[in-house]
Structure 1
């Protein structure tokens, strides 16, 4: 594991003139574009009009023109227009910054199925607020905030993997500290970072609950060996969805193609991970009804014994 006590400065050599402009817009987006440029996929990043960012994309020997501009309705989201040579224009709208690189690569792979993207790494990154709690019996870590650009289940797996490293555990003070952890696939990079705001996305939690419910129902209908337990989980998930639906004001999506092969218990664990993930971001006062329902659901599922993230000494609160 590569560790760095102080955050390293960003290599701006490729961005040159656009560096200050991008950093003013968003530090997250700036770092993301910098990584894409370092991979060789993007170059010639420039400031356009009305907050636009223009660049060139290099795919399989071809060059495409790319224009990125902030979405007018959603802060932290971007609209992208790509004009590939000899191909139809590609338009992507309302892409959250945390999903930007993955959505861009997904689209380019569809348009250029024969191109090689092996040098482009879709880095998983999270920011966490951690505090070491030392008692006479054990040392535990309290997590009170987390933001990441990938799924809650994978995020918590990575966090628990890192917490199992004694060197990182030594970095965590008994006072609250903020860290940025990047999963590069074969290594983790850890940096101390500034304080950050945490969000709660009930649509993600509700989507995980819906997927888990359908997976449980499929297993019940197929004659699962433990129908009594599955029926209990079914009723719990239905009750959860009823509570969540009162506060979820966006359409819930899930990949129906994956449901036939989705197993009940892993799907429930993904849902529990989503509850743990977002319950970390609940304020201590917990006055907001959305925060209250999330906190209550997380507490209800704490007694459920499934394959967890592998670290019983992590306190999610």
Structure 2
């Protein structure tokens, strides 16, 4: 049902992708909308501010950063309102900064991880399917330690500690005053697979129950008895809600052993989003899911007491 990370749908097979930040992408979309609303062609608008058609096209497609004074000029040419002009100028200024809170952590973070953290930090809606392990945003420290928090088990101990700290720090987005909406489907296998021992798993199940009780978080289980589910080709994360409900900015992330693939192609994103919506028909509802998780917790507690 879901397309794989090949062809034009794959925006990036990282490491090595210097993809645009979400703010830069939003700026490009907003500038293009203003230009089209003004009735100017790329060539006409570019001539008004002294740049080529090709350069303006690159700005609108978020292929390169744009200086804020030029954004100010373009907004005036397009006769944007003062409020919108100032908003886009601020957006241009903020898009110049590629840093984030994660830059304080030691170790050499891979490019795909820096991009993922930027998306995660700015998204207002995150949708995920997890089939192998509990998602990082929901893991306890002991569970994360047990899976090494990274596919690269050869990391020095200090860097591994930083990576674990990074994983825990990521979870703070769920405790914000206005957290992102987080909708998660868990394959029942991740509740049954013992990672780190029975006590670790019991605590992890309790963590899922606690997180699932938060208003912004919905956890649903895809039970064994339901058979193979329609999106069973693999795990994914959909980051969305950047700058409003416009799905044009949504990004799908597919992780693999050496990095990850980011999909920005509208058709690919729509297919994953459609598959995610369809999974609601196959998953247990949140209440039944919580009951199954509680049952798994109790089972691990019993095993731990033996």
Question: TM-score normalised by the shorter chain: which range applies?
Answer: under 0.3
TM-score w.r.t. length of structure 1? 0.23
TM-score w.r.t. length of structure 2? 0.23
Higher fraction of strand = 1
Higher-RCO chain (CA-CA 8 Å, sequence separation at least 6): 2
Higher fraction of helix = 2
